[in-house]
Structure 1
């Protein structure tokens, strides 16, 4: 047996406890495995992060865990090859480039999807053996501003809070965080805390009204980018209203006077005007912070993803330090992590400006300590290239080889066109991934098959510093290997024999833990000395624990900084004087809209995993741009119509969604769609590569754009229970397409800007070819086609010996056919004559609207009907009647929103109500075929 850790197959059922691979909450998951297959999943009741709760994405993990679309074998120059050949190719090319151009001519780009053990080995190879710090990670895109803020204030990258603080506080500020959708399990803990303690106040500080605002007592829709001014104003308000803890400031902090001098100009009036909110709303927020002894500021990407994100973080921290609301139960600045192991990656030096074990690359003593511990031939002596800089250097030819692991930078980095150019210009691109196709893999000379979450074995660290085991419960398919194994093989092939002879992840974890303890006399908070020397069995049984874990905290530490001792040179916290800055690119007459981006409830990153599950596609099937109804009216745009959003960086084509959740001249787009799922909907191509000068984090929350209605001549919906390989290649008529997963196969929505002659005939040819390409080993004969034509549309069905192959609906008007009905109609693979007739006639029921509750398939129309007809007036009552919101709870905020909308409409006329809540029916057939 190879170095892979193989799991013995057994006919017996067993439960494996692992962790969820999505956001930074770090939920525990119990998975039942039978005969080598995962058959059941539930939340781990005793895991301290979630206590059995799971969001809709976590609940449906097993629906995404199939092997379809997996990268199963190494590929070099488009040809499947052996591991030996692939490893030899990577090692030889990297070694050659280093020899000819030096170590800084190569780079690694990692991911918060990697486990700590994977990250550790990659960082060790790059910084200690190759001798370059050119290893960065997509955590740069979500957490580096918080890292910079913590390091400047506390001397170390540490989150001082614990999830328990959310349940033991008097005031929560949700600042730039839509936790209801991005971190639903923590949001549910907030909901429960508020139910237990009705005096708990929650303020949502966000330019748009998100789902999280449904729980909040107050929503402050501040002008985008003005957060630093808001918290400077708070600091000044505390000083003017006896809200300072002067004893704490004097004993435990540095530089307060300079900080207050800078904040002193931000009066209540000036701050309210600058943030574009009412003075009374601002004072209500400030008064709440002043009078409540326990305050949590729960912040996320709305703060971090900014050209001044680090300053915004420090403006928040300043207020907690000044009021002494830190290091105490229910208190502190709490940055919430976006990825399952963003924190674990930082612990082992995954960012280009860090060394392992929270040591600093600029510190000669730290460099010597790490090199001596590793016994490595060299050590990186200066920070490497941060993410956007790295791709700039690739474009310039200074970085000639890059190894990308478990991430998709062609989609996630700003200015897509420049990233694609950099990948195309790079001499040698290696990608390790678990999928066979994505936007970045298209540029790879070498593709290396990596294990996925249910196969990987190691540890992750969540947002509250809690280390949990991710246990491999299934055997990786094909020839896939764990990332640490791939990296170790390449290292040894490069001649580094001594540092990479690991027998398994337990040995790597032990080395990592020993490095955190090395010469650590309380100088660094990250101390895992209490976890050193674990046997493989002890490592396998490791329970979730929060670092530090040492003699002082043998069972872990929930709350750091309780003793007022920080990790700066003089052990005192630093106030950072903040001068608020506006976004680098301002709106103008040519680009009058301010665009922001973010996540949706049921999707994750670039949909590599969530895109596989039909149940997760049902909530939001298409990439949308949310705009204010007033702006839509001035543009002549109706709900669901196609619009072009563009600026000098790029253009996307999205469906219009109208909502006053965004302000006038503001837009919101989701980040998830890419060229695997849509022809032109990658949000990040609208954001220029403008970054925070301290953290290097891109400004993803503000970009000036213009919006134009896109004239569409023809529409088509294509549904197939079969794979349609390369279906979208060569579609005619300047087609914009969107694809999502149906119950049995893909669903395509096509929008043609130009009228296509004989579109039905061309789509038939496309489908015939795609089905043949998808079954090349067993060629199928051409389909038999049935069709029905009416005044505005055509319906076609493809049939073959093996059964139903495709349904096509073509129209010169927007297609309002609810494709959820197709899923329900065709759930049975045997399609009978009655079903075929129904398809031909398109006799679908009325569109039910958006699926609100994914767990129980409850649609918007069902909920509105219950509210209006049955007089239901609470979320709990909706749950009792329809079951929505009673399982994972992810839909509760949307239920609350629908209730609020109904209550607001009770005084409206019937005509007004009809306009607001019209559900678009399917196209009825013009004639009936008997």
Structure 2
């Protein structure tokens, strides 16, 4: 047995940037725990971070380069020399024939800073194109514009410690309890320690985050600008503004004061769909607080007016002087682990390294001189939505996609899939071959993943951490920077023959040391840092320059901003309604967002059955009144249509959603949900400044799906292999939802439905793949009714189930499988042609409420009904004692089920 080792690294999910301790034996990841020395999380982890070692199933990993030598042909395994030589030949020939802007790169906020820098240098210095954009365009580009317009630079001024130190904290457009749970735990603890701390949550839904709020403003979707202007109107009316700060440190206030006169309380409250009393209370809490902190995420950013929303919120801080001091300031929550690093290295089409702008001739000259090239391209680069439209229409003839899955995450998926089909050459650099985008790869390059990579990331509070590798990458997988530099050196032979290489790097530390000099003298200056210094001092906040030799906790403490004259700017823009509004044809507003235990397109979390325990399938959430209006019940299948596409989905009643609105998790793509996934419904309209699409607001209609034939499959063991084999067989179904289930015995879970039954051969193929075609299998067949039931028993325990025609027993059988107990009543049930099994009437699809300890909702409910309170439940069941993500939901159950004393 190999000795175990511990390597300190960083979680690869959200922008909190939690430190993790990886336990491993030098070859395999064994366990993960929070790093108590890391200042971002102080040892805490959420359910996703705590299960990192359980993700990344080798059966889902890309292990070898694969090359397709012609459209319509299958890819075949190859070696790196052949793969990158072919790529360099295609890119070189395309550039020679059609120019540098005929190629493009679409990269990711999950890359490390060194990876990002390599891609930027490749695109801009070698190829001479600004056609390089990142999936951070979908999450943080409006925040970038907000900071730059108001404060002069993309520099969030706050630190996580401000959560504890703020007297009034506003959370806008973020279900922080799900999206940034470690920070939310800090907020819960801070509120418990100081009950006088006031918390305002702005969100159309009543999410788990709202449970901590003193005031929840359930505004109409998209009305944030009107709300912030209305609050400022009251602040001015009550003289709750800092005139001295405004006079000394800002410009543009007079114009804004004039604009907000149009947002009187009665008018604003009506626009936003809230009470005038709540509007006045929000203004009072903000205006009278000694310190005021705001935190926001996708609800503000993913909008056609995302930049205006960011600026309107920052206006409140400038008007009250609540910036540049402890417990105060505008603080955007970053969605991805290194979206900040991407912004720093210039990895959006309009940016350059060191917080420079691609449209600024002086900035281009500075970077070109440093890189030793004649010039950088002046042509505007294409942002994400524009880029894929250019791919679809033929302007882009070769695209390189790295560490992201646009065939799941981009809006208007019909267009994206058309683009990838049409593109002459698609390179996908990816750790998981299972993503929706990989099916379109003409060249698939296997990349190293978390636990196998080294470099740096920057979290939401500007803190740079060292990501360390613990085990080698499997197969032929390589680090992203190494792939880029190897390709670049080959392409240089065509584009810069005879000249010294720009990509002679042998380690990520060398890349960091080159890149950091481009931050010298800039607002983010971290020229004083190195990998070695981070190892010695621990993670550090920028700026950290050679002179100060220490990190910076707060920015703008002297009232000097990163503008030409040192003053912050009030931005005056009126409220504009969302691009798409309800009408008779599309009467519901669809909102998309995160779940607690899943991440993005589930390329990683989708390999861990444990992470499906809380939510097993994509569900459309509607207010009970809307279900009644359409004569629908929980679990019914509906056809959901927008102006762009249609999905078939099960519905659930959810009182957290207001009437006239709907909610759908963002995570399900065409791999887990037939029909191109949730983003087939969302719209590509984008903010004119940030180019960030309005993923948060689309209009839909629903109608019963009326699918008579149903299929249910549950089979344990070899889940990834079975998933990959069974998924292609299911294209003929009108509805298909797939996922995993179980903790210690992972199983594949499938529910499907169609207008009519498929042919028997298809069911026979599925049975063979599920091990239901032979062995100890109980079966019942009624061809006339198109009903078929099969259950496999191994040592009297259920290991596989397939129901077709009718699936009334699915929850009962699922419960029997989960219990692992002998299934003694199966034979009697199977003899009935269509029957309700014993106890099935009351059986429901129980869920795992506490993923860390594996505590089901039914056990927690039983404890509550016995009179247990939250502390009792924690002590008896262990729920809520680890990451704490389940606590808000447990509190709601206690409130609804507790027996009066």
TM-score range (shorter-chain normalised) is: over 0.9
The Cα shift of 1:900 comes to 2.6
Counterpart in the other structure of 1:492? 489
The Cα shift of 1:805 comes to 7.1
Residues 727/12 of structure 1: CA separation in 2 closer, same or farther (3 Å cut): closer
Residues 377/798 of structure 1: CA separation in 2 closer, same or farther (3 Å cut): farther
Residues 839/876 of structure 1: CA separation in 2 closer, same or farther (3 Å cut): farther
Residues 106/183 of structure 1: CA separation in 2 closer, same or farther (3 Å cut): same
* Between 732-741 and 305-314, the greater mean CA deviation after superposition: 732-741
The Cα shift of 1:276 comes to 0.9
Residues 507/732 of structure 1: CA separation in 2 closer, same or farther (3 Å cut): closer
> Could you tell me whether the CA contact under 8 Å between 2:88 and 2:490 is conserved in 1?
yes
Counterpart in the other structure of 1:29? 20
Residues 481/282 of structure 1: CA separation in 2 closer, same or farther (3 Å cut): same
Counterpart in the other structure of 1:116? 113
The Cα shift of 1:67 comes to 1.4
> Could you tell me whether the CA contact under 8 Å between 1:733 and 1:752 is conserved in 2?
no
Residues 818/782 of structure 1: CA separation in 2 closer, same or farther (3 Å cut): closer
> Could you tell me whether the CA contact under 8 Å between 2:5 and 2:26 is conserved in 1?
no
Given candidates 74, 83, 98, the residue that maps to 2:65 is 74
Query: Residues 644-655 of structure 1 correspond to what in structure 2 (within 5 A)?
Result: 644-655=639-650
1:736 aligns with 2:730: no
Instruction: Please list the CA deviations of residues 862-892 of structure 1 after superposition, one character each: whole Å capped at 9, or x if unmatched.
Output: 2222222x2234x333212322101110101
TM-score by length of 1: 0.90
> Could you tell me whether the CA contact under 8 Å between 2:757 and 2:786 is conserved in 1?
no
Instruction: Please list the CA deviations of residues 177-201 of structure 1 after superposition, one character each: whole Å capped at 9, or x if unmatched.
Output: 1000000000000000001101011
Residues 36/640 of structure 1: CA separation in 2 closer, same or farther (3 Å cut): same
Counterpart in the other structure of 2:867? 871
Counterpart in the other structure of 1:61? 52
Counterpart in the other structure of 2:589? 594
The Cα shift of 1:758 comes to 6.9
Helix, strand or coil at the partner of 2:165: coil
Distance 2:602 2:305 in 1: 29
Query: Residues 267-416 of structure 1 correspond to what in structure 2 (within 5 A)?
Result: 267-416=264-413
Distance 2:659 2:122 in 1: 51
Residues 792/427 of structure 1: CA separation in 2 closer, same or farther (3 Å cut): closer
Distance 1:822 1:389 in 2: 51
The Cα shift of 1:138 comes to 0.3
Counterpart in the other structure of 1:928? none
1:51 aligns with 2:46: no
Counterpart in the other structure of 2:72? none
When the two chains are superposed, the root-mean-square deviation of aligned CA atoms in Å is: 2.5
Gaps of 5+ in 2: 69-74, 832-836
The Cα shift of 1:397 comes to 1.0
Gaps of 5+ in 1: 1-9, 773-780, 908-930
Residues 804/269 of structure 1: CA separation in 2 closer, same or farther (3 Å cut): closer
Distance 2:172 2:812 in 1: 37
Instruction: Please list the CA deviations of residues 816-842 of structure 1 after superposition, one character each: whole Å capped at 9, or x if unmatched.
Output: 415653553559xxxx89798699697
> Could you tell me whether the CA contact under 8 Å between 2:123 and 2:130 is conserved in 1?
yes
Residues 547/835 of structure 1: CA separation in 2 closer, same or farther (3 Å cut): farther
The Cα shift of 1:732 comes to 8.2
Given candidates 612, 616, 626, the residue that maps to 1:631 is 626
The Cα shift of 1:812 comes to 2.3
Helix, strand or coil at the partner of 2:779: strand
1:702 aligns with 2:697: yes
Distance 2:757 2:664 in 1: 30
The Cα shift of 1:352 comes to 0.5
The Cα shift of 1:714 comes to 2.5
Residues 125/863 of structure 1: CA separation in 2 closer, same or farther (3 Å cut): same
> Could you tell me whether the CA contact under 8 Å between 2:528 and 2:544 is conserved in 1?
yes
Helix, strand or coil at the partner of 2:240: coil
Residues 819/416 of structure 1: CA separation in 2 closer, same or farther (3 Å cut): farther
The Cα shift of 1:46 comes to 1.2
TM-score by length of 2: 0.93
Counterpart in the other structure of 1:849? 846
Counterpart in the other structure of 1:752? 753
Distance 1:612 1:201 in 2: 40
1:192 aligns with 2:189: yes
* Between 372-381 and 83-92, the greater mean CA deviation after superposition: 372-381
Residues 366/449 of structure 1: CA separation in 2 closer, same or farther (3 Å cut): same
Helix, strand or coil at the partner of 1:51: coil
Distance 2:813 2:43 in 1: 33
1:424 aligns with 2:421: yes
Counterpart in the other structure of 2:637? 642
Distance 1:814 1:385 in 2: 51
Instruction: Please list the CA deviations of residues 118-163 of structure 1 after superposition, one character each: whole Å capped at 9, or x if unmatched.
Output: 0000001111111111110000000000000001011111111110
Given candidates 536, 540, 544, the residue that maps to 1:545 is 540
Residues 413/836 of structure 1: CA separation in 2 closer, same or farther (3 Å cut): same
Distance 1:585 1:69 in 2: 38
Counterpart in the other structure of 2:779? 787
1:40 aligns with 2:34: no
Counterpart in the other structure of 1:508? 511
> Could you tell me whether the CA contact under 8 Å between 1:92 and 1:494 is conserved in 2?
yes
> Could you tell me whether the CA contact under 8 Å between 1:232 and 1:266 is conserved in 2?
yes
